[in-house]
Copies of this chain bind each other. A is one copy, B any other.
Amino acid sequence: MLRSLSIVAVLTAFAGAQDASLKFRSVAPGVWAADVGAPEPFSLLSVAGGSPMVAAMKALPDASFPFAKGSARGWARGGQSSLRFPLGAGEDVYGLGLGFKHVRRNRQIMTLHMDHWGATPGRTHAPVPFWVSSQGYGVLVDSARYVRVWVGTSLRKDAEDPPPLRDRNRDRNWQAHPRSDSIDILVPAPGARVYVFAGPTPLDAVRRFVLFSGGGAMPPRWGLGFTHRTPTRFTAKQITAEVDAFDAHGFPLDFIGLEPGWHSAAYPCTFEWDRERFPDPVGVVKALLDRRVRVNLWMNPYVRPGCALHKKLSPHAASHLVWNGIIPDYEVPAARELFTTHLEKETVGIGVSGFKIDEVDGFDSWLWPDVARFPSGLAAEQIRQTYGLRLQVMMYDLFKKRDRRTWGLVRGTNAGAARLPFVIYNDAYSHQDFIRALCSSSFLGVLWTPEVRSSKTGEEWLRRMETVCFSPMAMLNAWSSGTRPWSFPEVEDRVREVALLRMRLMPYLYTAFAEYRFRGVPPMRAMPLVDGWADVGDAATRRERVQDQFFVGDAILVAPLFAGESKRSVLLPKGRWYDFYTGALIGTGGVHEVAPKDGRMPVFVKEGGMVPLGPPLLRAPKPGEGIALEIRHYGNHASRRRLYSDDGETFAFERGEHGWADLIVDLDESGQRTGRIENEDPRFHRYTSVTWRFLGR
């Protein structure tokens, strides 16, 4: 019927099919950009809005362009654009979206698509189109489209390193998946901008990406404390009682999360207090603040018919609805202004300290379809990829304007989010998946919490509590279960011990975040971002262990136990390693089977590592509050570390109001260690006492 038309198509479409080398230009120290086609001005980084920290980038090791420039190629044609990067034999690829099942991405084919969990790889809460190569560089495709990626599966006629040709009829070594020498990308848009981040190490590449995005997020000190989210229908009174119960049980609590029930109606939301449950919102927030407990408020951004915001935002809303609520288009500046003004008045202005931004990820069946139209004229796909990012920027700016730091939660984010003080969470609950996500997050400039919600057994409860206390947010999310830290009496003491360890680790963790903020070093890191990792084990062991152990700060290696396990295998990087708790020598780099006698989660420190600990407080220290400091040093090895401090609550630290002290351990002639602190800033480094503990011989 239409047979002749295919020839017409052939003749008209035959144009521009050639690929060409990308032309890279330097845009920051160790960062190069190149364009294919005509990049769209609306991109992930344009929404994230950070400014490159050029000085910090200059301080990184000098690095030249990390691969032969001619081997990165691209084309643009017919509304699509394509990019290709080299992939060497044995080269490992990490990143490309928050992963729950995989940390390494080789041989995966993904569409990076903002979504809830559980669908295909690439559909995730942080579909960040950034990858890190084990060769020590990173690449960002700065497109707010659904970017498709083929990691080492594409075979080309012009491959530089083609696999052998085999005959399946005769050759037992025939391969269904011959090795490819490239990473291929399709951007469904007329063009895209791509950035290459030099190393020389994978960690350096991640650091450059984080610093290019504006540096990592700096929590308030209370953000590193323990947090608890109360059942959704809790009243002001019940919340007060919950704080009482934490105090009575001796469990730390720095901020408390109110779930949908604070809204007068929810799903979609009113953004107005429910006056039955909260007759005096100002009073309840103030009363909690007086007890040094902050309030975090849940929201989804869909606005309910009948509420004050609905009328204001309707002219700026999309064609579609979510749960019958309008979808404000926050790419329209007036919509941003209306929303933040309202939130400032109702929440931030009365002392609310943070938000949990829900439902900005997926599922497809909840959110708007890709056919929705937005007043800004942007495609639904572009809004979907960036909605969570935009809301974070808005909320962050709201707090920053008041010179108060915040620490919140978000369920959807994207590239450039490093500077935004929000931690990703979701509704999945496999403990193993949660740890993979924690590892995976560190490649992407995002943070993830393996939140604790409920458990089948006390053992599982403890295991989950252990890992969440080594994560960016030590959160119990009991919004639906009503569980409390002491709900399993058989492990109450052990859970309290680990929660208080979290509090004790605050000087250490706060410094780790300062390293993130100022130097781009993710506070929790997958093992390929740790020195000496590539030197131990075989490739198969590394691929396994990259999924279930991780590093925290500059000294601590965490090897989680999962329910049912009394022992596990751990792969220690090059060097000598000690048990964190006892200082016992574990051994040198390589595979170790560990079976902790006391049942505690295995935690290790490398020779020379230092862990500064504070007291086991129930709240984070107040600004300027002096604490008793204990500094643990591991192994007979002189070393030097830094200890960060600031006021813990405001942005004064960005204006230079912060201090880095030096922790120094020397060996005398007999090999005895002595420790000292230098360069303390008396405004911030306030200690009632300093104790050095030398562990490991």
Closest to A1 in B: B51
Q: Which of A372-380, A522-530, A613-621, A667-675 contacts B (4 or more CB under 8 A)?
A: A372-380
A43–B322 CA distance with the chains assembled, in angstroms: 34
How far, in Å, is A47 (CB) from chain B's closest CB?
6
A 326-361 binary contact with B (CB < 8 Å = 1; else 0) = 100001110000000000000000000000000000
A278–B305 CA distance with the chains assembled, in angstroms: 75
Instruction: Find out whether the CB atom of A263 lies under 8 angstroms from the CB atom of B169.
Output: yes
How far, in Å, is A113 (CB) from chain B's closest CB?
10
Instruction: Find out whether the CB atom of A163 lies under 8 angstroms from the CB atom of B378.
Output: no
Which residue of A15, A158, A320, A322 has the most chain B CB atoms within 10 A of its CB atom?
A320
Which residues of B have CB within 8 Å of A186? 369-371
A178–B43 CA distance with the chains assembled, in angstroms: 32
How far, in Å, is A184 (CB) from chain B's closest CB?
5
Say yes or no for A629: interface residue by CB 8 A criterion. no
Known: A261-B169, A371-B82. A6 touches B184 (CB 8 A): no
Which residues of B have CB within 8 Å of A163? 324
Instruction: Find out whether the CB atom of A169 lies under 8 angstroms from the CB atom of B232.
Output: yes
Instruction: Find out whether the CB atom of A1 lies under 8 angstroms from the CB atom of B267.
Output: no
Which residues of B have CB within 8 Å of A305? 165
Say yes or no for A91: interface residue by CB 8 A criterion. no
Which residues of B have CB within 8 Å of A178? 323-324
Which one of B80, B304, B365, B369 lies within 8 Å of A379 (CB-CB)? B80
Which residue of A43, A185, A319 has the most chain B CB atoms within 10 A of its CB atom?
A319
Which residues of B have CB within 8 Å of A371? 82, 84, 150, 154, 184-186
Which residues of B have CB within 8 Å of A319? 19, 156-158
Instruction: Find out whether the CB atom of A377 lies under 8 angstroms from the CB atom of B266.
Output: no
A370–B82 CA distance with the chains assembled, in angstroms: 9
Known: A8-B41, A232-B169, A265-B167. A377 touches B17 (CB 8 A): yes
Which residues of B have CB within 8 Å of A168? 260, 266-267
Which residues of B have CB within 8 Å of A7? 333
Q: How many copies does the complex hold?
A: 2
Say yes or no for A409: interface residue by CB 8 A criterion. no
Instruction: Find out whether the CB atom of A41 lies under 8 angstroms from the CB atom of B6.
Output: yes
Which one of B157, B166, B320 lies within 8 Å of A155 (CB-CB)? B320
Which residues of B have CB within 8 Å of A321? 155-157, 159
A 4-20 binary contact with B (CB < 8 Å = 1; else 0) = 01111110111101110
A158–B314 CA distance with the chains assembled, in angstroms: 13
A 367-398 binary contact with B (CB < 8 Å = 1; else 0) = 01111111111110000000000000000000
Which one of B5, B75, B79, B266 lies within 8 Å of A42 (CB-CB)? B5
Which residue of A80, A154, A163, A184 has the most chain B CB atoms within 10 A of its CB atom?
A154
Closest to A42 in B: B9
Instruction: Find out whether the CB atom of A324 lies under 8 angstroms from the CB atom of B155.
Output: yes
Closest 8 CB pairs of A and B: A14-B377, A9-B42, A13-B377, A79-B79, A168-B267, A2-B46, A167-B265, A5-B41
Interface residues of A (CB under 8 A from B): 1-3, 5-10, 12-15, 17-19, 40-43, 45-47, 49-52, 75, 77-80, 82, 84, 107, 109, 119-120, 148, 150, 153-159, 162-170, 174, 176-178, 184-186, 188-190, 214, 232-233, 260-261, 263, 265-267, 274, 304-305, 317-324, 326, 331-333, 364-366, 368-379
The contact sample of 18 A-B pairs, CB cut-off 8 A, is A2-B43, A2-B45, A6-B41, A6-B47, A6-B331, A10-B332, A14-B376, A156-B319, A156-B320, A157-B319, A162-B324, A169-B233, A169-B261, A169-B266, A170-B265, A185-B371, A186-B370, A188-B188
